[in-house]
């Protein structure tokens, strides 16, 4: 059975790229436009892995990660942050919120897929 990746990014281009690379690698993909939409999609779909941006409107990635970690059902899902940010302070904040790993944009598609495979349950 295919694993499902929830992608959370306010950029339509980034959502399209992630969809393409992850489907090509054999994953089902559910896409959300921001953290609030990500919480909703997570309630409606079973996800195995989450990839989220940090800088988004409505609910940013930090808040989204905290929301996911506060729920019982999804509290242990692997969460990869995919962001243009590379600041160590933000990485630490994401880790403290519950992020599993961090990938800097622009990204290498093969390395992204490898990271997803590495954290997959």
pLDDT in 10s for each residue of the chain, 121 residues: 799 999 999 999 999 999 999 999 999 999 999 999 999 999 999 999 999 999 999 999 999 999 999 976 878 899 999 999 888 999 999 999 999 999 999 899 999 999 999 998 8
CA-wise closest residue to 45 among 32, 30, 34 = 30
* Domain housing 80: 4-119
Q: Indicate the number of domains in the chain.
A: 1
Instruction: Return d(Cα 7, Cα 34) in angstroms, integer.
Output: 9
pLDDT of residue 36: 96
CA-wise closest residue to 116 among 80, 85, 84 = 80
**Looking at residue 42, which CATH number applies to its domain?**
3.40.50.2300
Instruction: Return d(Cα 121, Cα 119) in angstroms, integer.
Output: 6
pLDDT of residue 34: 96
């Amino acid at each position: 059975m295919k694993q499902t990746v929830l992608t959370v990014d306010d950029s339509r281009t980034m959502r399209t790229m992630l969809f393409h690379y992850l489907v090509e690698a054999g994953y089902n993909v559910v896409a959300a436009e921001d953290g609030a939409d990500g919480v909703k999609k997570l309630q409606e779909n079973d996800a195995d892995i989450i990839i989220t941006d940090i800088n988004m409107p409505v609910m940013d990635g930090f808040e989204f990660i905290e929301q996911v970690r506060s729920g019982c059902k999804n509290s242990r899902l692997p969460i990869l942050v995919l962001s243009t940010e590379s600041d160590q302070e933000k990485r630490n904040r994401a880790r403290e919120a519950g992020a599993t790993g961090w990938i800097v944009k622009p990204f290498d598609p093969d390395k992204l897929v490898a990271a997803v495979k590495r954290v997959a349950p």
